[in-house]
Structure 1
């Protein structure tokens, strides 16, 4: 199953409307959006849930509050949730206002986020 292209287009349009300087790249069957070289959000295909989820990097300051919403799940790839990252089910980003809310949280956290270390090139 491929990620939701319609959701990808909605995210791109929303980020352009916000004048965000972003890039996107395909990653492990999903799609990742980056801003200032740092992960902003993405689309993750969840086999257990059976749908594309919005992955949002919102930071630890709002993590606990947002996680209490019924359509939010902890981001958990390895059996240990990643603090500051959540998955949002489609019910949570169905409207354009809802999607915009999540992207605003991601953009607000981005200046505080640490960039991942660049991978060393193999010789």
Structure 2
């Protein structure tokens, strides 16, 4: 039974990844990488959105993070016990359709021009 559940989660993950890929098709500079235990999409060299088995990781900027947390639509991303100010997790179970997924992708794309690129490793 456990293998079936894991297999179903991977299918959902791949389906959501495919939907995100379709939503980013008109962006000129999209790169995909495996990071944060999921599949991440970088736009213009900056982390934009990631999908793992259960969540969407959205980079939406501090002001929007505060708003979405207050509305109860997301939860704060924590790294090493500290809040990552520009990121939230959204449970895939709470995204019931393409319109809701598009809402989060749009927020990520709106913030992308202001986001800072990660420093390149030497």
Q: TM-score range by the shorter chain?
A: 0.7 to 0.9
Separation in 2, partners of 1:25, 1:83: 22
Separation in 2, partners of 1:28, 1:114: 18
1:12-91 counterparts in 2 under 5 A? 12-16=21-25, 19-21=26-28, 22-45=30-53, 52-91=54-93
Aligned length: 112
In the alignment, structure 1 segments of 5+ residues that lack a partner are 46-51
Which 4+ stretches in 1 moved above 6 angstroms? Answer: none
CA-based RMSD of the aligned residues comes to 1.7
TM-score, structure 2 length as denominator? Answer: 0.82
- Kept in 2, the 8 Å contact 1:25–1:32? The answer is yes
- Kept in 2, the 8 Å contact 1:55–1:88? The answer is yes
TM-score, structure 1 length as denominator? Answer: 0.82
| Greater helix content | 2
- Displacement of 1:29: 3.4
Separation in 2, partners of 1:84, 1:29: 18
- Displacement of 1:28: 4.9
In the alignment, structure 2 segments of 5+ residues that lack a partner are 1-5
Q: Counterpart of 2:3?
A: none
